[in-house]
Structure 1
Amino acid sequence: MPRLASSVVLVRDSPRGVETYLGYRSGNSPLGTVAFPGGSIEAGDNDPLTWYGPSAAKWAELLGLADHRQARAHVVAAIRELFEETGVLLAGPDESSLVEGPAGEEWMNAREAVAAQEKSFAEMLDRRGLGLRTDLLKPLSNWLSPDFAHRRFDTRYFAAAQPVSQQPSLLASKGVWASWVCAREILQERDTTALGDLVGQPDTRGLNLEQLTSPAVEIILEKIAAARGTIAYLSHKRPVVKYHPELVLVEGAPMLEVVANFAAEDGAAQRSR
């Protein structure tokens, strides 16, 4: 069975166009060597905590899930993973506020403790009187790893705008490389080794975008690049789409074909290579 996971596409406006935050992931991650913040759902993501925004039942509807508990876990995992990997915390003392500047040694220690599962995310929030601002997340898409993959993930992608009072940073113990990148520029250089050389790791140098990332990252980057701004990107209404890359032979050569299944009465599906 694929492992359930969540990933967050953090976006912001810039003079060059909409930017997003990408990071290096070692160990042949199913999310990609260069990917958005994210990871597997953990047992602690089901712990009780203060919750602001759409209910778990509403999130289940938005994600096209029958189980509201699974939907809740995906949302909690998304906000937790974003906090662990970047320090950006979508939480506040009430439904209209957001914690300011979660930076410095104390916050880094909290990130490390949560990432190492030495302290639960719910405990960290409760100690500081914070609740999750789930209204700041927007659902994007669902990606299921190819059937032939050694490690398979069933990943829910979300998007969020960079909070004005927060800046992302690497996790001290695990972070290697992460940066804001302009989606349009990354795609313009997709056939070059610019991104891989910028990351500068032995398993990224000399590689192009397709070799560095998963199909999910490429398609999301394309949609970000086409947006006229962060507000337009986040406010765009999207159908529930489940993507499932499959291995096919085209004139004898193996290729990945991405099958997109739309949650519609006719069960429509689209394929692209």
Structure 2
Amino acid sequence: MPSSAEPPAAAPRPPRRPAVRYFEIPERQREAAQAWLERGAGIPGSSPTPAAAVVFVRDGDHGVETYLSYRSGNSPLGTVGFPGGTLEAHDDEPLDWAGPSPAEWARKLGTEGNLGRARRAVVAAVREAFEETGVLLAGADAMSTVESVEGAEWMSSREALAVGDVSLAQVLGRRRLALRSDLLKPLAHWVTSDFAHRRYDIHYFTAVVPDGQVASVLESKGSWGRWVDAAQAVADPAGSWLGDLVGKEDTVGRTIDDLSSPGVQCMLESVAECSSAITFLAKKRAVVARNPVLEVHEGRPLLRLDLT
């Protein structure tokens, strides 16, 4: 029996993450990838469109869950991903603001030279989250949040936002609400690979759903959205659990590589690694721009991601 003077056995170290990671190219993007390789890799691609998205988390029965949405078409953000979209001109409109200032957000997001970009990213994240899920990160003051956003009037506001008939500033102003920027946490920054026809420069945030609010799909556009166990979503990269769960013609039988962008996969893995939603939210992260690069690896086109 070891003596009491002996130090306790060291806990096993977690496996070291690889410095480089490769991702399969989704089937919908393979033609564009092949054309890019044939004309010569390294040629600058189109300018990426600024965008923002929110990774909502909560504690589930078996682990941390996150809210995922389905996107039809050929979005570089993936067929299945987090609620989000592009920054719009009306995101610059003045509105009541509570929480970290745009200058503070510029520091958090690494855009110190562009306060407007940081402010638009925060506003767009709140706007897109409300539009796509009905979750509104706003309140009457800096200490409160909207308790319920259900009903025909709120859905009408979401529909109007979706088609650009109103701005978030107008939606909040009519109800005398302030945007609660303190309810968001910076999470990640991803830039779509050069070969894609449509590219995004997207800032991801994370948040929890305020008490009393319930996530729901947009009536006119949303065909699928739900809370998903993050660990189960990434447990079998070669399997089709997530695609079968979504149940759409272009998702059934498909792997997560074929459904989601590298950024979405990495963030799902990050959520899955945490023991609770609070742990995920409290984790300190350096927001570094990640840009998967198309290259031929072991004889086939793949997306290379440098993680150093």
Bin of the TM-score, shorter chain as denominator length: over 0.9
Residue 126 of structure 1 corresponds to 173
User: What is the TM-score when the length of structure 1 is the normalising length?
Assistant: 0.94
Matches within 5 A, 1:159-238: 159-238=206-285
- Deviation string, structure 1 residues 133-166 (Cα, Å, up to 9, x no partner): 0000000111000011100100000000122211
Matches within 5 A, 1:26-105: 26-65=72-111, 66-105=113-152
Residue 11 of structure 1 corresponds to 57
Distance across 2 between alignment mates of 1:181 and 1:163:
18
1:115 partner letter: A
Structure 1 stretches lacking a partner, 5+ long: 261-269
Aligned length: 261
Residue 252 of structure 1 corresponds to 299
- Deviation string, structure 1 residues 7-45 (Cα, Å, up to 9, x no partner): 100100112100000010111111110000000001110
1:86 partner letter: T
Identity fraction in percent: 52
Distance across 1 between alignment mates of 2:144 and 2:134:
17
Distance across 2 between alignment mates of 1:251 and 1:14:
40
Q: Which residue, 157, 179, 191 being the options, matches 1:144?
A: 191
Distance across 2 between alignment mates of 1:164 and 1:103:
13
1:57 partner letter: A
Distance across 2 between alignment mates of 1:198 and 1:235:
29
The list of structure 1 runs, each at least 4 consecutive aligned residues, that deviate by more than 2 angstroms after superposition, is none
TM-superposed deviation, 1:259 = 2.8
Distance across 2 between alignment mates of 1:251 and 1:26:
32
Residue 267 of structure 1 corresponds to none
Residue 41 of structure 2 corresponds to none
Distance across 1 between alignment mates of 2:88 and 2:199:
16
Q: Answer 1 or 2: higher relative contact order, Cα 8 Å, separation at least 6.
A: 2
SS of the aligned residue for 2:203 comes to: strand
Distance across 2 between alignment mates of 1:118 and 1:239:
36
2:251 partner letter: T
Distance across 2 between alignment mates of 1:232 and 1:225:
11
Greater Cα radius of gyration, structure 1 or 2? 2
SS of the aligned residue for 1:106 comes to: helix
Cα-Cα RMSD: 0.9
